[in-house]
A and B are shown apart, each in its own frame.
Chain A
Amino acid sequence: MLIDWFTVAAQTVNFLLLIWLLKRFLYQRILDAVDQREQHIAAQLAAAADQLASVTAQQASLTAQQQQIAHERASALQATREAAELERQQLLEQAREQAEQLRDRCQAQWQQTLAQRENDVQQHVRQQVFLLGEQLIRDLADDHLDERMAAQLLRRLPELPADARTQLAQAGEIAVHSARPLSAATQDTLRNGLQAFCPQLSFHLEPGCLSGLELHIPGYKLPWNANDYLLQRIKPFEDAT
């Protein structure tokens, strides 16, 4: 007989015992280990998810801060740019005004220098002309010149003011000063011309009296010389400048 009921019963017991043994030493332990590892992994995943959420929140916060900083930076940059533009305009205007003032001052100074230079040149020219005329008169002085000067002097007498002619008439003697000795003819001319005022004349040498004659009476002097003549001619030009 193939079926041994005692063996069937024994094998049934053996199998049930094996179920209990494997459940005790195999399945329960393995499943516990798997469960704990899954819990550990789940905890790690949860922690990773929390960290990810935290990092995402931080990233969003940092992004917002970055945008805020960028906005503030742009605003500050725009304000700085506008202030710099305003400052530049002000400095440019100030520099332009200073440049204009400097230009006006330089122009005025230059014009003043130019005028001074022109004045100096004119004065120098006048001096040179004057010296040249003086030297010319000195070189050409002779008896005829004395006579001409005497005639010029006498011609001025009617032009004298009334008080001057009165003093001239009341003078006892008229002193005639000249740079060089006068000729007899010249002296006669003078006597004839002054006869109406004062008949008494005296003639004196005066080296400083350049190419001319001077009539001296107490309290008054009537000169005519080349120097005064030239000065009278130059005076209108000097007054004009």
Chain B
Amino acid sequence: MTLSPDDILYWQYGWLKLNATIVYTWGLMAILTLGAGWITRNLSHTPQRSRWQNLLEVVVLTLLKQIADVGLSRPRPYLAFLGTLFLFIASANLLSVIPHFEPPTASLSTTLALALCVFIAIPLYGVADQGWKGYLKTYLEPTPIMLPFNIIGELSRTLALAVRLFGNMMSDAMIISILLTITPFIFPMVMKALGLLTGMVQAYIFTVLAAVYIAAALQLHTDDPASE
């Protein structure tokens, strides 16, 4: 039994390797991209539209609403990043019901990569909104003494994001594997259903936390009386 799909190697040449995490991520990307491309190839601009278009519109508009509810009043610039986070994590977790499918989110490398993306996206959005000076100034708030604590807070919440998602996904896969070896009938099915729920919850939590971090970075600037 492997703790992470990183350990399942299909090909390796020096430091170059092709493990299950990368392969299943590519598969997931292909499914998402091809599915989206196939559904959106002939969109209707009238009130009469197909069921698949309805589904995608519901997903996209719900994501927009959730992002707006978090505090980003103009959610469209953040839709691509936050929406992709949610769709990737959610679809990876949902596809875990398929036998022999290893969810990439069960890999700490994947969750760390996602957390690093969030870690980089927050200052990028902050700089885009406030400029370099304005954003870096937020690290000195409320006093310059808080600079190291702010930096530690940034790093620690990135680490928390990665570990939280990895821990939940990995533990879910581990528990199912263990239960499958002990009681191969009822418990694995129940835990699989529970895993679907926790997977969706984790996707929602990861996305909402990323949105909250971005909103918090922008909110600091907005609430600053001096900037007004």
Contact = CB atoms under 8 A, between A and B. Distances in A.
Interface of A: 2-12, 14-19, 21-23, 25-27, 29-34, 36-37, 40-41
B180 interface: no
Contacts of B45: 33, 36-37, 40
Interface stretch (B95-103, B109-117, B130-138, B147-155): B109-117
B3 A6 contact: no
Chain B interface SS verdict (over half): helix
A122 B72 CA distance: 134
Contacts of A14: 22, 25-26, 29, 113
B109 A18 contact: no
Interface stretch (B36-44, B201-209, B219-227): B36-44
A3 B26 CA distance: 19
B3 to A, nearest CB: 7
Given A33-B44, A37-B45, A15 B113 contact: yes
B112 A25 contact: no
Contacts of B117: 12, 15-16
Interface in B152-179: 166
B84 A11 contact: no
A19 B110 contact: no
Contacts of B43: 29-30, 32-33
**A-B pairs with the 9 shortest C-beta distances?**
A11-B113, A7-B109, A26-B36, A29-B40, A23-B80, A33-B43, A36-B45, A25-B37, A12-B113
Nearest to B109: A7
A19 B45 CA distance: 24
Given A3-B112, A7-B21, A15-B84, A26 B56 contact: yes
Contacts of B36: 21-22, 25-26
B22 A10 contact: yes
B60 A27 contact: yes
Contact of A30 (B6, B17, B57, B113): B57
Contacts of B80: 19, 22-23, 27
A232 B166 CA distance: 169
B84 A22 contact: yes
Contacts of B37: 25
Name which of A2, A21, A31 has the most chain B CB atoms within 10 A of its CB: A2
Nearest to B76: A31
B22 A11 contact: yes
Contacts of A30: 40, 43, 53, 56-57, 60
Nearest to B6: A4
B33 interface: yes
Given A7-B107, A14-B25, A29-B40, A34 B61 contact: yes
Nearest to B20: A7
Interface string B36-72: 1100100111110100010011001100000000000
A36 B45 CA distance: 6
B21 A22 contact: no
Nearest to B116: A12
Given A18-B33, A37-B45, A37-B46, A7 B83 contact: no
A29 B109 CA distance: 31
